[in-house]
Amino acid sequence: MKKIGLFFLLISSLAVAQKSVLEQKINSITEGKKATVGVSVLGFENNFKYSKNGDQPLPTLSVFKFHIACTVLDLVDQGKLSLDQKLFFKKEDMLENTWSPIREKYPDANVSLPLSEVLDYTVALSDNNGCDVLLRLIGGPQTVQKFMDSKGVKGFQIKHNEAEMHKSWKALYENYSTPNSSVQVLKKFYDGKLLSKKSTGYLMQIMIGTKTGTNKIIEQLPKNTPVAHKTGSSGKNDNGLTVAENDMGIITLPNGKHYAITVFVNDSMETDAVNCKMVSDISKAVWDDFNK
């Protein structure tokens, strides 16, 4: 019994040492930066946990499109929606001053796209017009909130769609998540506690195909590392403030194990390049820590 106790004491000591080294690395990356940086890491198989400002509610920006996609796919699982059903985009759906690859491809609008394609645009390309059409389809942000609440997701709030966020900087802060909440919801998702096995695999593949934020958590990881992630970015306001430069995702390690990581850079007066470099450097530090 004494040997077993010593074994667990050793494991515990190693975990504390691992966190300490990682914390030093992350602190050196964020030190002196005019920004609030939220970080959360969760090892899926070994339950390793690390967080910095982990319980602080921080603006999600487009990271919330993951939560929206999960809500849509839950309705698909229930048979209330179909991936094949067509969504019609009117001219007034194609808002101009917003990020929208759909609008770029279909500038004249009046086009019907399958739900599956709109999901891909919304998650993998972070399309804002596609996002708002999906929200309208499911009954608005309150439907997403109810779904997340029903799955026991804490520390998450969604009140506004993209159009509303573009009209008010205040609205950006009312859609939020704690970093710890975001890695925990990714673990629930991975474990099949949010969606059916089919829908989980489907959304994982869309997220692995994410084309935004290539200079964030994936930038310094080895090429072809599977990273199922969702990015978010506010741009700068007239005072040079970046409300959010975010990324969260599930990383698959060379040994087949996994961890979730969230890096939210909020209320930053740093340049876009510095903000994204912080996300990238923190991601690399975590990767190196898991691959010792």
Sorted by sequence, the CB contacts under 8 Å of residue 17 that are 6+ apart come out as none
pLDDT at position 210 is 97
The first and second tokens of residue 182, run together, are 């975001």
The pLDDT tens digits of the residues spanning 198-219 come to 999 999 999 999 999 999 999 9
Residue 33: which pLDDT band, with cuts at 50, 70 and 90?
A: very high
Q: Does 123 reside within a domain?
A: yes
Q: Kindly state whether residue 65 falls inside one of the protein's structural domains.
A: yes
Q: Across residues 144-164, what is the average pLDDT? A: 98
Q: Does residue 117 lie in a domain region? A: yes
Q: Which two tokens stand for residue 35?
A: 């920004």
Active site residues: 62, 162
C-alpha–C-alpha distance, residues 124 and 139, integer Å: 22
Q: Where are the alpha helices (DSSP H) in the chain?
A: 2-30, 64-77, 101-105, 115-124, 128-138, 141-150, 162-167, 169-174, 179-190, 197-208, 272-290
Q: What is the CATH number of the domain that holds 102?
A: 3.40.710.10
Q: Residue 54 corresponds to which tokens in the numbers above?
A: 């982990």
H/E stretch holding 99: none
Asked if pLDDT for residue 161 goes beyond 60, the answer is yes
pLDDT per position as a tens digit, 109-150 = 999 999 999 999 999 999 999 999 999 999 999 999 999 999
Please give the structure tokens belonging to residue 103: 């609008």
Backbone angles phi, psi at 92, to 5 degrees: -70, -10
- 43 is in which domain, residue-wise? 23-291
Cα–Cα distance for residue pair 188/191, rounded to 1 Å:
5
Among 291, 286, 244, which residue's Cα sits nearest to residue 24? 286
Percent of the chain with pLDDT over 90: 91
Average pLDDT over residues 83-91: 97
What percentage of the chain exceeds 70 in pLDDT? 93
**What are the two backbone dihedrals, phi and then psi, of residue 189, each rounded to the nearest 5 degrees?**
-60, -50
| 143 within some domain | yes
Please say if the pLDDT value at position 10 is more than 50.
no
Three-state DSSP state, 6: helix
The answer as to whether 39 is a domain residue is: yes
Tell me whether residue 14 is in a domain.
no
Q: Is 58 in contact with 36 (CB distance < 8 Å)? A: yes
Asked if residue 7 is part of any domain, the answer here is no
Q: How many C-beta atoms surround the C-beta of residue 202 within 10 A?
A: 18
pLDDT band of 18, cuts 50, 70, 90: low
Largest Cα separation within the chain, whole Å, is 74
Distance, CA of 224 to CA of 214 (rounded, Å)? 13
Residue in the structure block whose two tokens are 């310094």 = 220
Q: What is the pLDDT of residue 3?
A: 57
- What string of DSSP letters covers 111-128? EEEEHHHHHHHHHHS--H
Read off the pLDDT of residues 221-275 as tens digits, 9 standing for 90 and up. 999 999 999 999 999 998 999 999 999 999 999 999 999 999 999 999 999 999 9
Which of helix, strand or coil describes residue 169? helix
* pLDDT (0 to 100) of residue 182: 98
Quote the pLDDT of residue 21.
Answer: 87
Pick the closest to residue 254 from 215, 226, 283 (CA basis).
Answer: 226
pLDDT at residue 17 greater than cutoff 60: no
Average pLDDT of the chain, as a whole number? 94
Structural domain count, the chain: 1
At residue 51's C-alpha, the angle toward residues 45 and 54, to 5°, is 120
Residue 17 domain flag:
no
Mean of pLDDT values over 74-82 = 98
